[in-house]
Amino acid sequence: MAAADCLSLTSAGLYCGAGDFYIDPLRPVPRALITHGHSDHARPGHSKVLATKETLAIMAIRCGPDFARETQAITYGETIRLGEVDVSFHPAGHVLGSAQILLCHRGQRIVVSGDYKRQDDPTCVPFEPVPCHCFITEATFGLPVFRHPDPRGEIAKLMASLQLFPERIHLVGAYALGKAQRLIALLRASGFERPIYIHGALKALTDYYASTGIKLGELRPLAGQRREKLAGEIILCPPMALEQLALKGDTEPRKIFASGWMRVRARARQRGIELPLIVSDHADWDDLCRTVVETGCGELLVTHGEADALVYWAETRGLAAKPLHLMGYGEEDLENPVEAPE
Ligand SMILES: [Zn+2]
Ligand SMILES: [Zn+2]
């Protein structure tokens, strides 16, 4: 694995000795480069953090203003030298501020992609393939069965449901960072202009998205609203609040959940989801493969997820590939996003 020689696996995660920094470390380190604000990548307690200004803002919202001793913002395309390594950040299309990190060291180009997707998302800068010798990718949906549909079709299902069940609250579970705001933007793009009600745990991040100029239309806090007045309205809440909110009130709300995992019918059934929406902020199988090809890399390292299928696929194309089995990532499904009362 020649190109990735300047990277090593440690108990804190990926470490670059030549630059003396970690990428998305799992525990506090002297210097961390952070790809994006999801809690499995952006943890508090580092001495120095280098990230996009959006990721820094998101970390401050989620972890408090003292999440690191020192922070430095980097813009997409800007190069900063750390030790013997030139570092630059490039759009990952995953959530607002998300970045792939390019390391240039002794003529070798290594891209650590973090999480990424290739589908349109009006709430963040689109993914840009970065030519490299070694591409380090996740593989959350790294199996050929995972093919995400067009999100506009999924939003159309939600619109059709509102027509069909005008007397029922439409309670939509969505991750607090990225998914919730993307759903709102997709609803607006589909022509839905009514106010959207949001759970308190989504407020700070959604306000931040809006403050950067992303058009989200009229949003109303769910707190203090009378349940009977919300018939036929859309309420967005974090996944963990779905069960609890579904029990309140006289008429049962329609339980809806937006996630790439909704492709797996058993998961939807388990959670009692009536209307699963397959909307994912991760690349599906086709987009993972396409991206590897577009980077032109000769080496592929797979951090987490369904690594084996992607490694096998890469080897059949003549790439040197191996899984890294990084632990502690891909837990967006498990995180508890209830950060504020309703
Ligand atoms: Zn993520
Ligand atoms: Zn992740």
Task: For residue range 222-242, list pLDDT tens digits in order.
Answer: 999 988 899 999 999 999 898
Q: Which of 15-24, 79-88, 121-130, 257-266 has the lowest mean pLDDT?
A: 257-266
Tokens (6 digits) for 46: 């580092």
For the segment 259-287, what is each residue's pLDDT rounded down to a tens digit?
999 988 888 898 899 999 999 999 999 99
pLDDT of residue 340: 33
Name 280's Cβ contacts closer than 8 Å, sequence gap at least 6. Answer: 117, 119, 141, 148, 259, 260
Residues 195-212 pLDDT 10s = 999 999 999 999 999 999
pLDDT digits 0-9 by tens, 151-205: 999 999 999 999 999 999 999 999 999 999 999 999 999 999 999 999 999 999 9
Amino acid present at 318: G
Q: Which residue has the tokens 């999440």?
A: 67
Cα(24) to centroid(ligand 2), Å: 10
In the reported structure, the alpha carbon of residue 196 is separated from the centroid of ligand 2 by a whole-number distance in angstroms of 27
Instruction: Write the CB contacts of 127 (distance below 8 Å, at least 6 apart in sequence).
Output: 91, 92, 93, 94, 100, 116, 117, 118, 291
DSSP state of 69: E
Q: For residues 18-22, give the mean pLDDT.
A: 98
Distance 301 CA to ligand 2 centre (A): 16
Q: What is the pLDDT of residue 332?
A: 56
What is the pLDDT, as a whole number, of residue 5? 84
* pLDDT at res. 49: 98
CA 302 to ligand 2 centroid distance, Å? 13
Cβ atoms of 188 and 216 closer than 8 Å: yes
- Between the CA of 231 and the centroid of ligand 1 the distance, in Å, is 33
Look up residue 113 and give its DSSP letter: -
Q: How far is the CA of 164 from the centre of ligand 2 (A)?
A: 36
Looking at residue 339, what is its pLDDT?
34
Residue 328 buriedness (CB in 10 A; 0-12 / 13-18 / 19+)? middle
The whole-angstrom separation of Cα 308 and Cα 301 is: 11
The label of the residue with tokens 């949906």 reads 141
Q: How far is the CA of 148 from the centre of ligand 2 (A)?
A: 17
Q: Is 295 helix (H, G, I), strand (E, B) or coil?
A: helix
pLDDT range class, residue 294, cuts 50, 70, 90: very high
The number of the ligand nearest the C-alpha atom of 93 reads 1
CA 58 distance to own-chain centroid: 12
Among the bound ligands, the one closest to the CA of 40 = 2
Q: How far is the CA of 138 from the centre of ligand 2 (A)?
A: 8
Instruction: Label residue 337 by pLDDT band (50, 70, 90).
Output: very low
Give yes or no for residue 142 having a pLDDT over 70: yes
How many angstroms is it from 227 CA to the middle of ligand 1? 33
Mean pLDDT of 132-141: 96
pLDDT category, 12, cuts 50, 70, 90? Answer: very high
297-334 pLDDT, tens per residue? Answer: 999 999 999 999 999 999 999 999 999 988 888 755 44
Cα–ligand 1 centroid distance for 64 (angstroms): 19
CA of 252 to the centre of ligand 1 (A): 32
Structure tokens at 1: 């694995």
| DSSP designation for 126 | P
- Cα separations in angstroms, 328 against 24, 126, 208, 228, 235: 10, 26, 27, 42, 31
Instruction: Give the three-class secondary structure for 179.
Output: helix
What is the distance between the alpha carbons of residues 225 and 31, in angstroms, rounded to a whole number? Answer: 45
The backbone torsions φ and ψ at residue 279, rounded to the nearest 5 degrees and listed phi first, read -130, 115
Residue 319 CB: number of other CB atoms within 10 A? Answer: 17
Q: Which ligand is nearest to the CA of 177?
A: 1
- The Å distance, Cα 258 to ligand 2 centre, comes to 17
Residue with tokens 């995660």: 13
Percent of the chain clearing pLDDT 70 (strictly above): 95
CA–centroid distance, 3 to ligand 2, in Å, is 24
> Do 16 and 85 form a contact (C-beta atoms < 8 A)?
yes
Q: Tell me the pLDDT tens digit for each residue of 41-83.
A: 999 999 999 999 999 999 999 999 999 999 999 999 999 999 9
Ligand 1 center to 229 CA (angstroms): 35
92 pLDDT band, cuts 50/70/90, is very high
Sheet holding 134-139, edge to edge: 79-82, 85-91, 99-105, 108-112, 134-139, 299-305, 320-323
Mean pLDDT of the region 215-228: 94
DSSP states along 144-160: TT--PPPHHHHHHHHHH
